[in-house]
Structure 1
């Protein structure tokens, strides 16, 4: 190798190391995502308590789907404000599963918060009945899923009046990917889990005592029968979390991740999803 080539390679390696630090991006190493679950849990409990008191309110309302994200949110709220000041709302559509209902009730029993079931089938179906629709059409399915999400959030806000806050349940992975409904499930007064990647949220869930069957089950918004998040996204949360961590938190370039062994197609897809969904993560722009 020539002296010039050697010096160039040395400079490139030095530049990459100066940017990556001691944490080297590695698609087979999820350890950078590890958190101190006990410390994070305490911080988030204080966050909910402080923000509720600052708003001079006393209650929390949480949409409890039976999944791990809302399970963590409602557990944290119960610890922060006392279960007597937490209302969980299970808002099933006609194809919501019995398992989701059972898991929501299991959480209510374990963390002692009040759980109410408020079905949304009648109002959602009434809206779509005004024009013929084909529920097998993917675009119609997404429209219906968005309508469900906004209907659920409307109920949560209604039930939060006059002295409660709506607690968000969207994790950092979903928020960055834009995998959620604007003014639907992404809407909230405060979000204690929004800076936790899905992988990290699962760790915290186990620490909080969320039943493992809830933590480990395939994530789904139950937008239609058989729907799962990862099937719809086309990749796993574990793969996405690691890429997002290095790309967003550590500000590594896509080219650096690809050079480190991350799948080029997946890196590009995730980067584009983050870019295209930016508008969902900011307040509406005013001209």
Structure 2
């Protein structure tokens, strides 16, 4: 169903590239920095940023007890497209923070609280690198993730711009093939890499194909409908700036 949204992929590519240039220029910045995870979303955004900014972009590989295959796929993208790139290993920093916090965590999802340290450390890393270069931090979230809140607040959502934030997962896959991204990266199960064996679809309990279809058409099984509506409502705070207590009239 998503294939019908953008019949001209070259036009979609040009549109995003021009939007990236315009947005960065409006911010008086010089380029973009982004994390390269080895997954399809960051692969697509990296190619688009390179086409927008040439050498004025930086991809950052940030292993944090990550699977070797993910890092290998990220390195493959760097080699294939010749991205400006650096590697920052966050494993030791994660160990220090998680070991310091573990004894103080409550009983509500302590494992997830520790896992979410990883994307938040990556956010800190990217902003430090961006500020030192007058770059913006480019996010890799897609429309499905934004809709259901499948991202870490002040982690992978801590970014300045989202070039594929209006693309469904199927759109991203089609664009990836058009851009020449290796099939191995396109076809592997999407994962946030929070723990060993974790996959997006396994954690959510529904497939991206089902989510694409429901978000686009409003049609789907009761399971998918309930998941999207509940997840969207539960994650609404992630998509808004923090509320401010209004003291007018006191």
TM-score by length of 1: 0.80
Aligned to 1:265: 223
SS of the residue aligned with 1:41?
helix
Tell me the distance in 1 between the aligned counterparts of 2:136 and 2:169: 23
Q: Does the CA contact (< 8 Å) of 2:192 and 2:199 recur in 1?
A: yes
Tell me the distance in 2 between the aligned counterparts of 1:218 and 1:193: 19
Aligned to 1:81: 53
Task: Please state if 1:167 is matched with 2:134.
Answer: no
Comparing 31-40 with 213-222, greater Cα deviation is found at 31-40
Aligned to 1:196: 167
Tell me the distance in 1 between the aligned counterparts of 2:109 and 2:8: 41
Q: CA 1:31/1:46 → structure 2, altered by over 3 Å: closer, same or farther?
A: closer
Aligned to 1:222: 193
Tell me the distance in 2 between the aligned counterparts of 1:152 and 1:222: 12
RMSD, matched Cα: 1.7
Matches within 5 A, 1:3-82: 32-33=4-5, 35-82=7-54
Q: CA 1:138/1:102 → structure 2, altered by over 3 Å: closer, same or farther?
A: farther
Aligned to 2:84: 114
Tell me the distance in 2 between the aligned counterparts of 1:59 and 1:194: 19
**1:87-146 residue CA offsets vs partner (Å, 9 max, x unmatched):** 11111112x12211111111112222122111111111111212556xxx9923311221
Q: Does the CA contact (< 8 Å) of 2:3 and 2:174 recur in 1?
A: no
Tell me the distance in 2 between the aligned counterparts of 1:236 and 1:36: 26
Structure 1 moving runs of 4+ over 6 Å: none
Q: 1:144 aligns with which of 99, 114, 118?
A: 114
SS of the residue aligned with 1:61?
strand
Structure 2 portions without partners, runs of 5+:
246-250
Q: Does the CA contact (< 8 Å) of 1:141 and 1:224 recur in 2?
A: no
**Larger C-alpha radius of gyration, 1 or 2?**
1
Distance apart, 1:59 and its partner CA: 2.1
Structure 1 portions without partners, runs of 5+:
1-28, 248-256
Tell me the distance in 2 between the aligned counterparts of 1:144 and 1:35: 42
SS of the residue aligned with 1:79?
helix
Distance apart, 1:245 and its partner CA: 1.3
Matches within 5 A, 1:118-137: 118-132=88-102
Distance apart, 1:34 and its partner CA: 5.1
Q: 1:97 aligns with which of 67, 78, 97?
A: 67
Q: 1:279 aligns with which of 230, 234, 237?
A: 237
Tell me the distance in 2 between the aligned counterparts of 1:33 and 1:224: 34
Aligned to 1:178: 149
Distance apart, 1:33 and its partner CA: 4.8
Tell me the distance in 1 between the aligned counterparts of 2:211 and 2:235: 15
Tell me the distance in 1 between the aligned counterparts of 2:44 and 2:108: 30
